[in-house]
């Protein structure tokens, strides 16, 4: 693994694979969250399953955490390597004329997305870890002593979107995620060699994905804010 990461191509390939892995996670994440729009019971059931299943908690969750850390660390490494390799900046070579805003600001949008992830983890993941593993309550119930009290996940999700400024911040972060994905998606496919007759279809799919997934997350936040 270290040998692969020592080469420029190897680092880009590893970065692409981590990006594709996280893209799959985003689909799963938004799919579960979207059920909260039309079914409180289904959202609660899915959340409880994901939060208590040993395979998800013991294997998938650690892999996801490692994937997120690896992706962002590799992003900083690639940016540093790219700056070092460019060396002297030529006045005649305008970055604006040779690249898009998205490609020039992948690090910036990545940092904002990372900051959002910390907030998101503080809002949901840290709370869940505290309740389940520190307080020792794996029931997921509003009142662990009353089975009929129902699951707490839906109400906790809606409570996070009462504050309008939090909804605005979430929305801005997801817009930046869309910009990040619009460039990153195509770069990932190019890095793993998917530059063939299917590339036109992949670019079309990448636009739908990159705009659609963040738009769904924004819709969920706005929906729960205005229906609370």
- Rounded mean pLDDT, 183-201: 65
**Better-predicted residue by pLDDT, 33 or 107:** 33
Give the pLDDT of residue 54. Answer: 93
Distance CA 202, CA 120 (A): 30
Largest CA distance in the chain: 71
Give the pLDDT of residue 5. Answer: 62
**Better-predicted residue by pLDDT, 113 or 199:** 113
CATH number of 2-86+101-226: 1.20.1300
Distance CA 195, CA 62 (A): 32
202 falls in which pLDDT band (50, 70, 90)? Answer: confident
Give the pLDDT of residue 199. Answer: 65
28 falls in which pLDDT band (50, 70, 90)? Answer: very high
**Does position 100 have pLDDT exceeding 80, yes or no?**
no
Query: Would you call 138 helix, strand, or coil by DSSP?
Result: coil
Neighbouring residues of 218: CB distance < 8 A, sequence distance ≥ 6: 170, 171, 174, 175
Give the pLDDT of residue 55. Answer: 95
**Does position 168 have pLDDT exceeding 90, yes or no?**
yes
Delimit the domains of the chain by residue range.
Answer: 2-86+101-226
Which tokens sit at 161?
A: 């979107």
For residue 123, the number of C-alpha atoms closer than 13 Å in the C-beta half-sphere is 17
> Taking a C-beta distance cutoff of 8 angstroms, is the pair 95, 29 a contact?
no
C-beta neighbour count of 128 within 10 angstroms: 18
> Taking a C-beta distance cutoff of 8 angstroms, is the pair 46, 35 a contact?
yes
Give pLDDT tens digits for 30-48. Answer: 999 999 999 999 999 999 9
**Does position 205 have pLDDT exceeding 80, yes or no?**
yes
Neighbouring residues of 17: CB distance < 8 A, sequence distance ≥ 6: 188, 192
**Does position 96 have pLDDT exceeding 70, yes or no?**
no
31 to each of 26, 38, 217, how far by Cα in Å?
8, 12, 10
The average confidence (pLDDT) of the chain is 83
Which tokens sit at 179?
A: 């910009």
């Amino acid at each position: 693994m270290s040998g692969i990461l020592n080469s420029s191509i190897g680092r880009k390939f590893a970065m692409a694979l981590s990006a594709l892995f996280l893209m799959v996670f985003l689909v799963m994440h938004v799919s579960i969250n979207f059920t909260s729009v039309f079914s409180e019971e289904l959202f609660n059931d899915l959340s409880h399953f994901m939060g208590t299943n040993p395979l998800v908690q013991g294997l998938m969750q650690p892999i996801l955490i490692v994937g997120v850390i690896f992706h962002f660390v590799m992003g900083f490494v690639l940016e540093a390597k790219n700056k070092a390799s460019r060396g002297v900046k030529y006045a005649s070579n305008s970055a604006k004329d040779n690249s898009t805003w998205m490609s020039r600001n992948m690090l910036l949008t990545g940092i904002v997305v990372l900051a959002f992830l910390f907030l998101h983890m503080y809002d949901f993941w840290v709370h869940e870890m505290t309740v389940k593993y520190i307080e020792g309550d794996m029931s997921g119930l509003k009142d662990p002593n009353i089975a009929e009290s129902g699951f707490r996940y839906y109400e906790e999700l809606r409570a996070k979107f009462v504050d309008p400024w939090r909804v605005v911040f979430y929305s801005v972060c997801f817009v930046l995620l869309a910009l990040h994905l619009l460039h990153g998606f195509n770069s990932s496919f190019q890095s793993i060699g998917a530059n063939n007759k299917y590339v036109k279809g992949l670019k079309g799919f990448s636009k739908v994905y990159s705009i659609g997934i963040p738009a769904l997350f924004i819709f969920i936040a706005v929906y729960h804010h205005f229906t609370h």
